[in-house]
Structure formats: C-alpha cells, structure tokens
Structure 1
Amino acid sequence: MAKLIVFYSRAGENYFGGQYRWVTVGNTEKAAQMIAEVVGGELFKIQQKVPYAEDYETCIRQAKADQQIHARPELETLPGSLEGYDEIYLGYPNYWGDLPMAVYSFLEAFDWTGKTIRHFCTHEGSGLSGTERKIALAAKGANVAPGLAILGSRVEQAGEEIKRWAMAR
C-alpha cells in the first residue's frame, strides 16, 4: 500500500532557539520532505483557507486564540479519500503542547479505522508533549505509532535520526 506524508508547516518568520528568522520553507515541511525521500509516498500539505500572519508575533496570537476556543479552521483542500493508504505520516509543529488546530480539522475529516499514523513534530524544547494521545482521540480507530520530536532549529541536521525513525517498524 502507498504511504501518505501529511504535514502542517508554515514559512515566514519563525522562532529558532531564542531568535526569529525568516524562512521560505517551514521546518515541518523540511522534515516531511526528508521522510518522503526515505519511505517514498505522496506529500500533502495541510493549509488553512485563512492562513495565519507571516510575522511570528501575530501568528502566535492568532494560533493561541484558535487553540483557546478549540477552533477547527477550514482547510484549502483535503485528499478525496485515505483508501489506498495504510500508513500515514503526520507532521506538525508543537503549539503549546498541542497540535495546530488545522491538524484537528484534517484528522476529524476521516475514518481512521485500520490506518497507522506515524507522527512527527518540530519544536523548540517541548518535544511531543502528549500529542500522541491527542492524535489518538481525534483519529478514532487509528493505530498511533510512537512519534518523533525534532528540534526545529536543527531539522536540517536531523537526516539520520529521521531516517532511523522512518525505517523502524
């Protein structure tokens, strides 16, 4: 069966270990691309119809407000179906110990029965923070495999770690 690498990532101004930096490709997208190189599979980027601001401070205010009300932002598009995929890699930045609300929009749109979710997150110190449990609650019926936490500021140096995790069964 084919593999699908789904991810939520944002470019623009990002936080890297105590400082802001402008990036054209977000850290989670970089990790997703590395995973695709290792396992093959199709890439699918989760995108909000109304994206957050490109500047970091405004973005985190918007994302925090959505998190506080448990928003489910409307997405640009969804795959027509997950039939044909038995293994889905799910990537996201860790937002205050949680998934971005757009990831919930994605997870809640499908029946996950019989699917395996292999999740990975980028972060700047908070690791997975219990997101495995949150994925399992949102993706009813899925088998949620152990995840991988990648320091966002070190994603470009994490190739071997990503490869080991992606190849492990």
Structure 2
Amino acid sequence: MSVVVYFSHDGETLLDGKHQQVSFGNTEVVAKTIARLVDGELVKLMPKPVYPVDYQATLARAKQEMKASQFPEIMPVTHDLKADEVIYLGYPIWWGTLPAVIKTFIRQTDLKGKTVYPFCTHEGSGFGRSIQELQQLLPDSDIQKGLAVRGSRVTCAQCAVNNWLGQKV
C-alpha cells in the first residue's frame, strides 16, 4: 500500500516571478495527481500555527525556523502509516531545502524500512539540498529518485508525473 504525504502552502505564492493568490498550493496540485494515479490516500501536513497567507512573511518564518533548527508543531496525522510500504513525500523547496514541517513529520514518524519517493515544487532550484537532507534524516529508508516540478508549471505537470510514476506503478 502507498500513501501521499505532503506539505503545501496555501495563500500567496510566487509564480513566474509574481506574487499570486492561490486557494491551494503548488505541491498540493502535484500530490493530488499522484494520489489519484497510485490510488493512495492523501495526508496533508498542517503546521500549528499555520504559516501566514503572505508569501514574504511565510518565507521569513521558514528562514527563521531553518536558521534556528526549529521544528514547528504539526497537527496530528490520523492516517496509520504502519501498513504503507511506499511513501510519496511532497514539499515546496524553501531556502534551498525541506520546509521545517517535513522535518517535524520525519522526526515524529517511524519510516524505517519504508520506500520514499520524494517530490517537490520549486521556482528554479530543483530539489536543492533536500534529497541529501532526506538521506541524512532517513538513513533506514530507501530514498528513490524523485520528481521536481516548477511551481509555475504544476497545472501542466501531468505528463511529468505519469513518466515518473511509470517507473514504479
């Protein structure tokens, strides 16, 4: 069995260099596509408190969390991951790496022996340092080749997702 676990920022985002309002984040678009194709349950990670709607304020908080090695509290994950062998783990790239919300989830969840397929959204940095960080944070998990999707192209990423999943489904 597989599950799609993701964090996505709702509100204001950066698309093609411009700040735009979105009702759901770029990573959520990709996560829903993956979940539909692999018939996996969606698990959205939610920080407590949630990040600001304002994109610059969100990035400022994310930078402060990163510099201080803070792990923000997240809402409890109600999905039992014990039966899931494959985890699709999605996140936006902030400051060149994983958001602290993802790190909190990893610290709180036993992913030992799980196969993890990372996917991210970005505006030019690709995975940044996130794959190396995942390998450090999850030494007992099997980290597979991931999928990086430019945020401004998530609405037309179906082909990229199909190709990526074609390697494993």
- Same fold, judged at TM 0.5 (above): yes
Larger CA deviation: 44-53 vs 105-114: 105-114
Instruction: Establish whether residue 116 from structure 1 lines up as the match of residue 123 from structure 2.
Output: no
Which secondary structure state, in structure 1, belongs to the residue aligned with residue 48 of structure 2? Answer: coil
**1:111 CA drift (Å):** 2.2
Task: Quote the Cα distance in structure 1 between the aligned partners of 2:60 and 2:78.
Answer: 29
Q: How does 1:1-169 map to 2 (within 5 A)?
A: 2-79=1-78, 81-169=80-168
Task: Quote the Cα distance in structure 1 between the aligned partners of 2:53 and 2:90.
Answer: 20
* Structure 1: segments with no counterpart, 5+ residues: none
Write the letter of the residue equivalent to 1:49. K
Q: Does the aligned pair in 2 maintain the 1:49–1:75 contact within 8 Å?
A: yes
Q: Does the aligned pair in 1 maintain the 2:43–2:79 contact within 8 Å?
A: no
Q: Does the aligned pair in 2 maintain the 1:90–1:117 contact within 8 Å?
A: yes
Write the letter of the residue equivalent to 1:25. F
* Structure 2: segments with no counterpart, 5+ residues: none
RMSD over aligned Cα atoms = 1.1
Larger CA deviation: 78-87 vs 61-70: 78-87
Task: Quote the Cα distance in structure 2 between the aligned partners of 1:92 and 1:164.
Answer: 19
Write the letter of the residue equivalent to 2:146. G
Task: Quote the Cα distance in structure 1 between the aligned partners of 2:166 and 2:47.
Answer: 30
Write the letter of the residue equivalent to 1:104. K
Q: Does the aligned pair in 1 maintain the 2:10–2:53 contact within 8 Å?
A: yes
Write the letter of the residue equivalent to 2:69. H
Provide the identity percentage: 35
Q: Does the aligned pair in 2 maintain the 1:6–1:45 contact within 8 Å?
A: yes
What TM-score does the superposition give when structure 1 sets the normalisation length?
Answer: 0.95
Give every structure 1 segment of 4 or more consecutive aligned residues whose post-TM-superposition deviation is greater than 4 Å. none
**1:110 CA drift (Å):** 2.0
Which secondary structure state, in structure 2, belongs to the residue aligned with residue 163 of structure 1? Answer: helix
Larger CA deviation: 104-113 vs 35-44: 104-113
Write the letter of the residue equivalent to 2:159. E
Which secondary structure state, in structure 2, belongs to the residue aligned with residue 35 of structure 1? Answer: helix
**1:101 CA drift (Å):** 0.2
Q: Does the aligned pair in 1 maintain the 2:113–2:141 contact within 8 Å?
A: yes
Write the letter of the residue equivalent to 1:6. V
Task: Quote the Cα distance in structure 1 between the aligned partners of 2:137 and 2:46.
Answer: 18
